[in-house]
Structure 1
Amino acid sequence: MALGHARLAIQDPTAAGAQPMGDAGQGLWLVCNGEIYNSPALRRELEALGRRFVSRSDNEVILHAYAQWGRACLPRLTGMFAFALWDETRQRLWLARDRMGMKPLFLYQGDGVLAFGSEIKALLAHPEVPRALDQTSLGHFLGLNYVIAPRTLFADIRQLPPGHEMSVAADGRVATRAYWDLAFASRPRLRPAQWRARWQETLAEVMADHQLADKPVGLLLSGGLDSSAVAWWMAQTRADPIQSYHFRPMQSGFDESRHARLVARDLGLALREVQLAQPLTTLLPRLAHHAEEPTADGSMVGVYALAQRAKRDVDVVLCGDGADELLAGYPTYVAARLLPLYARLPHSARRRLAKWAAQPGPPAAGKLPWREKLARFAYAAAMPPERAHAHWRIICNRELRQTLLAADAREARRVSVGDAYAACFAQCDDAHPLNRQLYVDQRLYLANDMLVKLDRMSMAHGLEARVPFVDHRLAELAAHTPPALKLSPALQGKTILRQVMRGRLPKPILTRPKEGFGMPLGTWLREDLREMTGDLLAPSRLRAMAVWDEQAVTALLNAHLRGEIDAAYPLWSLLFFALWHQQWMTA
């Protein structure tokens, strides 16, 4: 048994908080990545039971909690974490991951070998860990821009899923179980004012807990409702101006800086607007290195730049990610509500509308154009509602995937993204359509894309990113909140959050629609990245990867470069896969 740890010291940065952390008297050793936000309360409880601490580290709380309560301590922990604890007396290794999947935990199990770590790079350093492509994960990646846990793009490396624990005995016996899942069943009967009070109380508690640190804490501010709400709660407990960071793309159609400035002025934040400090051709290989899997979310570029700049001032940042998946902030939830109304239109009207929307238009200068959104809506209108929800989340549809994948990539070609969504829908304990959609988006998109992007890009700079809206206390409260307080009858998402923040944030922030953290991928591919993309997707490179149809990929790329179509999203996926393959499969 060997444990190692590279420390980012946030609480108790002294040598007393170093890891691996041991309790020699109990024969316990711990390595942990993350933060335990309720560690002060747990520490007081454990000290009252006679436990004696030697540091101020939140990780020592895990050791004492395990010594006191065994593995039953896990539900008592509130935070973002992935840890491994070796119990010398019982000759047992215990691995656990936080409820929502904010911190990763990767695993390799071979002949007499178990390797684990918070980065895939750590596992690949082991001589027995092979580098083979998982084609099922490739199918998911091409369809969604991300890989679905517990798989990774490496065939022999898996993830411990969010909300799971694993016990490994000295004789090799392994037991894995879920210790938590989001449940919608319990819904208190409260009046709207009582719900607002409940949300206000929980937000205040969670936001305060997430600022627990012995190092400076800043904020990633988009100018949207969610990060602005985080800023307001932070400002209630801080006397000094909060260091906040906003990414400002140079291209028109993506600039939200006026909203960020409005919030900064209103709350007295110290706002720094960040732009790319290096060419994309230099930056993208670094992103692929730190991402370890080709999560082809274009906003990784912005998050990387923000983290790089923020690290010069602070060691921790809070952000507003997660509220959309908890409280129905995406247009897809509105689309689902509109499907029955659309179905009442005469068939001829629906056919003409779908035909018009499906016609190829000029490349978009800004974010996804309404015409394409309408085309995706109309195409899915004949599907069952849950299959339609999956379709709206797909980046590269089945027909295009079949065209781009080589005939020999059989496993990848067999993948059905819709089936992956259906399997996740089946795990939800609620019958309400909106709650089912939210559950699936939290378990798939949030856990496998949003949180992965944020964790990898912030940790690339030794910056700890915390996500208050993904705290399980808020996730559970949102699950129990009536659907009408998430998506209102007037089709406005995040209703309860808007109500709580009314009078606290400027009105334009409360009423502005969801825009998203988009990047000008189409323009980048035609201009800044034209040469790099052509090189990495050249026929000889595609042939070496052995999973792509060379002619189909070349035709798609050329049509995009000529401006005949906008294929930015599938091409971005192909580009990131090529970068990943170059770094990890040919090393």
Structure 2
Amino acid sequence: MADVQAHGGPDDEGFYVDTEHGLGLAHRRLSLLDLSAAGRQPMCSPDNQVVLVFNGEIYNFRDLKEKLSAERITFNSQTDSEVIIAAYQHWGTDAFSKLKGMFAFALYDRVKQEIYLVRDSQGIKPLYVYQHQKIIAFASEVKAFSAAKLPLSTNTDWPIALLSMGHLPEPLTTYQEVRMMPKGTFTTFSLEESEPRQEVQCLEYEKSFADFQSESPQIAINQFLDKAIQSQLVADAPIGVFLSGGIDSSLLALQAAKHQKEKLITVSLNFKEKQFSESTFQQTISRLLPGAHHSKTVDEQLFAAYFDGILGNMDQPGVDGINTWFVSQAAKEAGLTAVLSGVGADELFGGYPSFRRMPYIPFLRTFSFLAPLATQLTHNEGLKRWTYLNEKNPSFEYLFLRGFFDPRQLKSFFSIHRNQQIASLQHIDLAQRQIPKNYDGKRAAWFEQNYFMQNQLLKDTDSMSMRHGLEIRVPFLDEDLVHYVNTLPSSILFPKNKPAKHFLVHAFDDLLPEMIWKRPKMGFTFPFQFWLKRHPRYLSLKSRYPKLSNLYTAFERDQIHWSKIMALLVMEQFGGFELLNDKRDA
């Protein structure tokens, strides 16, 4: 299992085995804090009573270390890993709620004979758990479980979920026995009983809003983000910033420059196709920065050379992530071990069309009986998803907002009927009581954060960056910043008749050039609409699955988005077509 994940931890490996209790822990290290052997994992407490394997970063570890040192607790390294152990030994499981950062870890208490699995509040770091009979296993990647030769059975619903949503929604994976652990929770497994007892508890996150007492929410946002950037720039290895040229990455780079000065390194990707290139905006920002800027051009030949390998690198099926694979490669070539990314800003501050669509849902639901007629008469993708509002499950509101293949396409192209789709999505874990009741920007933000960002952006970002041994940090998902933003009313965050992300932009009036925030939103995407049409994998797909000829024709006429073709290629990579055929035959 450790070998399968070696790409994400190329610097070291370590193992701990307790034969008496049938427990083994393995770790692959990506060295960012205290690069010496003192940071090696699995890490044991000085009394050998606690053992830790940990993935991620604790951004407030210095504050916690100071508090623990005041209690006469001593430390032997400069790592955040050692702070986790000391915090647990001092505060017990209450320590988990004091941790701020992105993390997934397992902590073994030899005295209590309990093992704790803990995942950060925003779900930035993945933690997959396998449980079958008396066997428990966990890992950062699903592929690790097959390497362990554990009894595994295929989850036959995953192709329907992928085609419906463009990703596999948590907790679903391609295996029945493997599920993603919920974010913001810790699970206790007791090893004393004949069958391990499992208990899941939520982290009672400790807020610290008192740091910024301001009459202006925009000033507070500025201060929260600045503090998050400072804490996430802490590393003993080279760290930089992804600079796409959009609002979010430009803000991060300009703010980071205040602290990094000439040490700041920014990384950008560009394309020869002018309609996809953001070099003008990247250069506008890079000229304002004191440090070095690395720009890499990705062309069709480079894409063609790596595409097969990238599909093979995917841990779980998804239609996103190839852009992250390439920019992570560029960052590694620039000598970086970690980078800051703007993931989360659109979801928090209203950067997507879903924020404008959300208020219309109650009206459209009332007249959803007209949806079949509208579907027949229009080519509008949004109206084709109108029929999803017939379902009361909140997941289908998301499908209306940004679903993938619409119900008619699922039926005509893949013989997937509505009842099959409903059945395949009914197991999605939803904290329904937490969904904002009003159909405004707050409800849209909830869906974007808990569906698109959680299941697609964060998952693919982690998987593809780790293929290069690169850590991506996301300051916009700082716990304090997220919790503060979510306390603000919709009228402040998403004012009517104002441009997208108006609130965020004007929190940094003195920093962001006008040409950056006035430009049309592009999104960080590649010229796939052109490149895929000529790629051998696509041509092979056409020959292997000729029944989808209408879909290919629509793509080649630019009537459908490239992401739908990407979904087919991913389906082929993971054996999804065979599963659909088996369901159809059954």
**Secondary structure, aligned partner of 1:236:** helix
Pairing 1:50-449 to 2, within 5 Å after superposition? 50-130=72-152, 132-170=153-191, 171=193, 172-180=195-203, 193-276=215-298, 279-297=302-320, 300-312=321-333, 313-337=335-359, 358-359=378-379, 372=380, 389-405=398-414, 413-415=421-423, 423=430, 425-428=432-435, 431=438, 433-449=440-456
Amino acid in the other structure paired with 2:540: D
Instruction: Find the counterpart in structure 1 of residue 59 from structure 2.
Output: 37
Instruction: Find the counterpart in structure 1 of residue 538 from structure 2.
Output: 533
Deviates more, 1:85-94 or 1:508-517: 508-517
Instruction: Find the counterpart in structure 2 of residue 368 from structure 1.
Output: none
Instruction: Find the counterpart in structure 1 of residue 10 from structure 2.
Output: none
Kept in 2, the 8 Å contact 1:486–1:493? The answer is no
Kept in 1, the 8 Å contact 2:240–2:266? The answer is yes
Kept in 2, the 8 Å contact 1:390–1:421? The answer is no
Kept in 1, the 8 Å contact 2:357–2:401? The answer is no
**Secondary structure, aligned partner of 2:310:** helix
2:531 aligned to which of 516, 524, 532: 524
* CA shift for structure 1 position 354: 8.7
User: Is 1:507 aligned to 2:514, yes or no?
Assistant: yes
Call closer, same or farther: CA 1:507–1:564 in 2, change over 3 Å: closer
Pairing 1:427-506 to 2, within 5 Å after superposition? 427-428=434-435, 431=438, 433-506=440-513
* CA shift for structure 1 position 11: 0.3
Structure 1 unaligned blocks of 5 or more: 360-371, 540-549
The alignment's C-alpha RMSD in Å is 3.6
Aligned mates of 1:446, 1:564 — CA distance in 2: 26
Kept in 1, the 8 Å contact 2:317–2:571? The answer is yes
Normalising by structure 1, we get a TM-score of 0.84
Kept in 2, the 8 Å contact 1:425–1:436? The answer is no
Aligned mates of 1:199, 1:414 — CA distance in 2: 40
Kept in 2, the 8 Å contact 1:106–1:117? The answer is yes
Instruction: Find the counterpart in structure 2 of residue 570 from structure 1.
Output: 564
1:560 aligned to which of 544, 550, 555: 555
- Per-residue CA deviation, residues 17-72 of structure 1 (Å, 9 max, x unaligned), is 00000115151100000000000000011111121111111111110011011111
Call closer, same or farther: CA 1:451–1:114 in 2, change over 3 Å: same
Aligned mates of 1:571, 1:435 — CA distance in 2: 32
Aligned residues: 549
Call closer, same or farther: CA 1:276–1:484 in 2, change over 3 Å: same
Runs of 4+ in structure 1 deviating by more than 4 angstroms, as ranges, are: 180-184, 190-193, 337-343, 350-356, 372-389, 409-417, 419-426
Aligned mates of 2:205, 2:75 — CA distance in 1: 33
* CA shift for structure 1 position 308: 0.9
Call closer, same or farther: CA 1:181–1:136 in 2, change over 3 Å: farther
Call closer, same or farther: CA 1:41–1:477 in 2, change over 3 Å: same
Amino acid in the other structure paired with 2:403: I
- Per-residue CA deviation, residues 146-197 of structure 1 (Å, 9 max, x unaligned), is 101111122221111211211111123333434249999x999x99952122
Aligned mates of 2:521, 2:428 — CA distance in 1: 24
Amino acid in the other structure paired with 1:522: Q
Deviates more, 1:254-263 or 1:133-142: 133-142
Aligned mates of 1:399, 1:432 — CA distance in 2: 26
Call closer, same or farther: CA 1:384–1:222 in 2, change over 3 Å: farther
Amino acid in the other structure paired with 1:448: N
Structure 2 unaligned blocks of 5 or more: 1-22, 580-586
Kept in 2, the 8 Å contact 1:13–1:214? The answer is yes
**Secondary structure, aligned partner of 2:443:** helix
Q: Percent identity?
A: 26
Call closer, same or farther: CA 1:72–1:412 in 2, change over 3 Å: same
Aligned mates of 2:214, 2:526 — CA distance in 1: 38
Aligned mates of 1:403, 1:28 — CA distance in 2: 56
